[in-house]
Amino acid sequence: MSISFRKLHSLFAGEVSSVDLRNIRDRDTLERIRTGMDEYAVLVFREQSLSIQDQLGFAQRLDGKLHTKTGVSALMKNRLGDVPVGDISNVGPDGKILPRDDRKRMYSLANRLWHTDGSFQDPAGRYSMLYACVLPPVRSDTQFADMRAAYDALDDEMKATLERLTAHHSIAYSRQTLGFTFSEEEQDNLKGAVHPMIRTNPRTKRRSVYVASHANRVIEWPIAEGRLLIWDLMDRATQPHLVYSHEWRPGDLVIWDNLATMHRGTPFDDAKYHRELRRVTTLDVAYEFESMPVSELA
């Protein structure tokens, strides 16, 4: 199937021509989407109609293995059931909007910090695929920052410095900065992970800066100095001209590369308006599509 891309921002983010992702199974089209991801880092597919199984199936066909616990489901029962699908919503099991002091709501507020999905785990998250099921009548954009452009803007000395550094990412840390508290048992389950501060796309060789609000400290540096470096890199990366703000439409599926971007939700009156999206995230592991039997792609 022939697909094309329309640029949504001067640096990155593309809208994909009309396509029904439920029917995308052939290797050439899947590879064209991966190539689009390499170039745009964020792709928008309009007017999709995806069940949970449809969304899971497409994610597996596109990028193989799925993250099972990347967000709130790591701590709380998933309203959507025992499936590797993140419930990015402000409703409870009864479908009603969560009260302002609900723990899931408090936890989810941290999505308004600039972050990358799954960086606190190893393997980290690679592609995230967020599908808009129910949207409020007001804007509730998701914003993206291009961390490849952030890398390109660094001077050579900083690039060389970052090449030698690693950072510890912890979801407990990012939540604690907002005053969220964890039990000892929860803390034990949230040890975090260490990743290089520069990531390289193995196909294009483009480098990106890999920091976000989960980045707790630079392993090789004193804590204070490392945090100042992380915050400075995030400030530089999120200047307005480097940010794409996605205004959601019902049926949108947006895919982003967590190794090349940061993202955040923007505030809206979530105690008043129902908002419901579903997210599937793939694992940052090498995956050999060429060796996959066709039956597994179907």
- Interface with Fe ion (CB under 5 A): 117
For residues 87 and 117, which CB has a smaller minimum distance to Fe ion in the complex?
117
Tell me how far, at minimum, the Cβ of 142 lies from Fe ion, in Å.
8
Comparison of 130 and 154: residue with beta carbon closer to Fe ion: 130
Provide the minimum distance between the beta carbon of 217 and Fe ion in the complex, in angstroms, as a whole number: 21
Q: How far apart are CA 209 and CA 261, in angstroms?
A: 8
Rounded least distance, CB 262 to Fe ion, Å? 9
Which residue lies nearest Fe ion, judged by its C-beta?
Answer: 117
Nearest residue (CB) to Fe ion, 117 versus 270: 117
Q: Which two tokens stand for residue 180?
A: 């969220």
Q: Which of 29, 281 has the CB closer to Fe ion?
A: 281
Per this entry, what is the length of the chain?
A: 298
Contact 72, 86 (CB under 8 A): yes
Q: What is the smallest separation between the CB atom of 285 and Fe ion, expressed in angstroms? A: 19
**Contact between residue 197 and residue 144 where contact means Cβ atoms under 8 Å apart:** no
Identify the DSSP state of 214.
T
Whole-angstrom distance, CA of residue 120 vs CA of residue 170 = 5
Which element (helix H / strand E) includes 207?
Answer: strand 207-209
How far are the Cα atoms of 12, 60, 116, 255 from residue 40, in angstroms, in the given order?
5, 20, 16, 10
Compute the distance between CA of residue 14 and CA of residue 267 in angstroms, rounded to an integer.
Answer: 24
Q: Which is nearer to Fe ion, 14 or 118 (CB)?
A: 118
Tell me the closest approach of the beta carbon of residue 23 to Fe ion, in angstroms: 27
